[in-house]
Amino acid sequence: MKYETMLDRFLKYVKINTRSDASIMTIPSTDVQKDFLKMLKEDLEELGLSDIQLNEENWFLTATLPSNSNKLFDKIGFISHVDTADFNSINIKPNIIENYDGNDIVLNKEKDIVMTTKAFPNLKNYVGKTLITTDGTTLLGADDKAGIVEIIEAVKYLKEHPEIEHGDIRIAFGPDEEIGRGADNFDAKHFATDYAYTMDGGVLGELQYESFNAAQITYKITGVSVHPGTAKDKMKNANTIAAELAMMFPENEVPEKTSGYEGFYLLHEMNSRIEEATLVYIIRDFNREKFEERKQFCVGVAEKINAKYGDVLEYNMFDQYYNMGDVIEKDKKSVNIAEVAMRNVDVNPIVIPIRGGTDGSKISYMGIPTPNIFVGGENFHGQYEFSCLEHMQKAADVIVEIAKLAKK
C-alpha cells in the first residue's frame, strides 16, 4: 500500500517541540502539547473524520472513521501519545538517508557526532532502507510521532479506499505518556471500543501485551549536621546513611543486569548533603506476587535504617501501573488478530514483553484490552534515535489489515 504523504507528515510533526515535563503538574505538563493537539485536530478535520473532539480537561484528541459495512465488526481503536521524552527537542533537524549503505552515519560533521555500526550493530538490519535520523543534537521524536503518523495515514488510506470493509475505528492522541501520567485521565467510557492498540513499540514486528508492574518509592533521610571537629556522637550524616541504604539493594537486580521477564530496582534520582538526602527508586516486575515482595523489601530497607539510626527516614511509595497482560490474557482476541494481520502483510510477529509501560498498561485496566504494536524505529529518547520509512509503512499496513480482520 502507498502512503504518499507519510514522510512529509512525519517530518512536519517531528520538527515541533512537544517535550513533557515531570516537574509540572498541569494537564498536560507543557503548553506545546496543547498547541500540537490543536494542530492535529485541524489535520483530522481536513481528513474528514467524524466525531472529532479535543477534551480540554484530559487533553485527549479523539475521532472516528465510521463503519462502511453491514457486516458485524468489532469497534476498535488506535492510540498514540504526542509528548516526547526528557531530552533536547528544540530545533530538531531530521536527516533523510535513502538506500542506506550499512556504514557509519555522520549525524553532525561540524560537531563530529557519528552513529557507528560498532556502537549500534542493529544498523546493519536497515541496508537499502530509508532512514530518518537526527542531526545528533536532539532526539527525533519518533516515539511517538511515528505512531501518530501511521494511524493518520492508515485511516486516510481506508477513507480513500471504501472498497475495504471495516467497522467503527476510533483514534486517540494524548499527552504526557513519557512521564507516566497521560492515561490516568483517559476517558475509556467515551472511547468505547471493544479493544485497542497503542502504536508505540519499536522495531518491525514487535507485538507486546505484557508490561511491568510498576511502583516508585521516595526515601527522605534527615541528618544532623555538626561541625566535624566536634561531631563525635552528634552528627548523623545523611550522605553516608544514603550510601548505606543504596548498598542494601541487590547489586544484580538493576536494569543494566536484567532482561526478559526479570524485574529490577533502579536508583532513579539522588540528592544528598549532610543534613538531608533524598533517594528515588523505581520498582519493576512482571509477576504481581514478586512485585509486591519487591515493595515490601523497600519498606524493610527503611525499617532497618530507622532501627539503626533512630527515626531518620521517611518514605512515600505509590503504584504507577500494572501488567496489562493480566487483563489481556483473559481474552487475547486483540493479540491474535494483530499476529494474523502482521503475517498477512509479510511481517514476522515478535511477541515480547515491554520492559516498561505504555498508555495501554493503564487503559487495559479501564476495560479496553490494549496491546502495543511497533512503529519502526530504534534508539528512542536520545540523539541516536532513528526511524525506518519502509517499516513505518508496514506499521500502517498492519493497522489497515487489523481493520479488515476485526470481525465479530
pLDDT digits (tens, 9 = 90+) for 342-388: 999 999 999 999 998 889 999 999 999 999 999 999 999 999 999 99
Output the pTM of the full model: 0.92
Give the pLDDT mean for 181-191: 95
Check if 253 is active-site: no
Would you state the cell numbers that stand for residue 235, as one nine-digit string? 552528627
Does the annotation flag 35 for ligand binding?
A: no
Catalytic pick among 83, 168, 359, 397: 83
Could you give the 3-state DSSP secondary structure of residue 197?
A: strand
Cα 148-151-157 angle, rounded to 5 deg: 140
Give the pLDDT mean for 178-197: 95
Q: What percent of the chain has pLDDT over 90?
A: 98
Nearest Cα residue to 292 out of 370, 214, 360: 214
Does the annotation flag 200 for ligand binding?
A: yes
Check if 177 is active-site: yes
Nearest Cα residue to 370 out of 228, 229, 193, 202: 193
Would you state the cell numbers that stand for residue 362, as one nine-digit string? 493503564
Does the annotation flag 268 for ligand binding?
A: no
Does the annotation flag 8 for ligand binding?
A: no
Catalytic pick among 177, 194, 210, 285: 177
Is 1 a residue whose pLDDT tops 90?
Answer: no
Strands (E), 230-310: 264-273, 276-285
Instruction: Give pLDDT, residue 131.
Output: 98
Does the annotation flag 143 for ligand binding?
A: yes
DSSP 117: T
